[in-house]
Structure 1
């Protein structure tokens, strides 16, 4: 029913003056009763629609929601975002994406974007909780990549670049990437990227790319007592951002770089990532389940490994772990 409701919304948006239910029913070839039901549904999603017997319906305001209709108005992609799966609240978008992949051929889901207004059980790296209140951008993209399994981390790199570039375009803030998957403004974290894959031998069955961004979140909503300082798009831009427009731009930025990866342009992605790095040329501490060491982050290779020169002079490639300033 929601698609039919958005057809009514489109008519309301295109009308410069209030429009009668009778006129809407004629334009869409539906009953006036159906028009009324669709208007009620739109109101339930937060659209402010005035109505009167004399003048008809008038769209007053749209909600700050990541509804597919609102995103698609700004979307300029080939494949990413051709399907959306929208939720008001879920434990996690990656959990929804996994269930979709269990029930359907992942190749048919390629490019689908799962969105939630809030997550009650968001998960970050190493199973850590990810605070995900309303006002943020919480999404998982389902991909069926034609990429060698040893280069799949490039997808995370492409997403990190896309987030940083979109923040820079919207806010003019100097967003940078902290290896392996966080986006910072100054010394404050604003977003994170998480990737999970299902693979057999050298074949990637599917890739789930989750992106979490603290967007229109107030100071009161931010968690207290966390080790990493947090900021928001609201604070960085000085005003609330149009989340639907922001996400549409982000998906476009990501798709551009994702296509480069599928074309084998790994060095192009690595070069851009380096230009936005908060980690390279810095002294860092690497912590993995097996060991911990310090050194200088000197490079990142085309597989996404961080190259660290240890204090003893030896060079080590780090594929996963925590990376913090030393």
Structure 2
């Protein structure tokens, strides 16, 4: 959204009643024709603005889009989200982040959030499709980590904790974390994360944390297999949620945990992750590339590996794989 449109919007927001196009033009030093052009743009962005020849323009309804202007009003972070790119539709926010990082020094992009109202080519773990229809929250956070290489995996843990905490604080819903990177409400998934690193040898050029939350997704629009395993916040609370408020909360919660990682407070992240885990102390079946086995998930270690006591009594660390709970 351009500065002129923002300035027109601010006038409408601050006015207790209708504002004439002439008055807006005078305040901003633009023509009435330019005012009308910005009103049209604001309406295109989802703002409900009424108009009448006698009274002028009135802001009737705010947009439901995740626009940077709206997010910044509630953000209150120092780094994460201070730069935002917003797209109505894109194949993948991760692809955009990679392109930006290739064109600009990642240090200058640290904390940037790339948001899409809808993704057509979202990718999850193991290259699986990430269904990303309109109504959800789909984003990538671009980071230039100052975290030791052997602790970078904890960025995902920090993100998982942030999402679970944000949902709990905003809606009073007991969101939990399912190892390795899913957010659940009850027995259904409501969100997920994916961490990608651009690195060579012991140098990390940048990290991308992809986040997806089924906020206002209508479950009736999902295919049958997905209906059985997914839920949305809209379905859980019985009405559409304020996506801007939730996203701002997630970014604030993430910045807090990310700062802990940069300060070397790894134990606090692990403790909080464990307190929100729906996997530890549960019977699970683990599928890795090489094998499948069952057992009880008894812990997560300092490297983020899931510790399984197998049915034969042996203990095994699982670094990566699919976890099915019963």
Q: TM class, shorter-chain normalised? A: over 0.9
Please tell me whether the aligned partners of residues 166 and 250 of structure 1 are also in contact (alpha carbons under 8 angstroms).
yes
1:308-323 pair list within 5 angstroms: 308-323=308-323
What is the rounded CA distance, in whole Å, between the counterparts of 2:118 and 2:112 in structure 1?
Answer: 18
Please tell me whether the aligned partners of residues 113 and 142 of structure 1 are also in contact (alpha carbons under 8 angstroms).
yes
What is the rounded CA distance, in whole Å, between the counterparts of 1:131 and 1:34 in structure 2?
Answer: 39
Please tell me whether the aligned partners of residues 133 and 221 of structure 1 are also in contact (alpha carbons under 8 angstroms).
no
Counterpart for residue 249 of structure 1: 249
Matched, 1:306 2:306: yes
Counterpart for residue 24 of structure 1: 24
Counterpart for residue 282 of structure 1: 282
Please tell me whether the aligned partners of residues 149 and 202 of structure 1 are also in contact (alpha carbons under 8 angstroms).
yes
Please tell me whether the aligned partners of residues 148 and 203 of structure 1 are also in contact (alpha carbons under 8 angstroms).
no
Deviation at 1:227, TM superposition (A): 8.6
Counterpart for residue 180 of structure 2: 180
Return structure 1 stretches of 4+ with deviation > 6 angstroms. Answer: none
**2:241 aligns to what SS in structure 1?**
coil
1:91-148 C-alpha deviation (Å, 9 max, x unpaired): 1111111111111111111111110111111111111111111101011110111011
Counterpart for residue 240 of structure 1: 240
**1:225 aligns to what SS in structure 2?**
helix
1:241-269 C-alpha deviation (Å, 9 max, x unpaired): 11011100110011000000110000000
Counterpart for residue 296 of structure 1: 296
Counterpart for residue 205 of structure 1: 205
Instruction: Name the TM-score, length of structure 2 as normaliser.
Output: 0.96
Q: Which runs of 5+ in 2 are unaligned?
A: none
**2:79 aligns to what SS in structure 1?**
coil
Alignment root-mean-square deviation, CA: 1.4
Counterpart for residue 110 of structure 1: 110
Deviation at 1:47, TM superposition (A): 1.1
Instruction: Name the TM-score, length of structure 1 as normaliser.
Output: 0.96
Please tell me whether the aligned partners of residues 177 and 277 of structure 1 are also in contact (alpha carbons under 8 angstroms).
yes
Inter-CA distance 228–193: structure 2 relative to 1 (3 Å threshold): farther
What is the rounded CA distance, in whole Å, between the counterparts of 1:121 and 1:241 in structure 2?
Answer: 25
What is the rounded CA distance, in whole Å, between the counterparts of 1:282 and 1:323 in structure 2?
Answer: 11
Deviation at 1:3, TM superposition (A): 2.7
Count residues in correspondence: 326
1:95-134 pair list within 5 angstroms: 95-134=95-134
What is the rounded CA distance, in whole Å, between the counterparts of 1:72 and 1:223 in structure 2?
Answer: 35
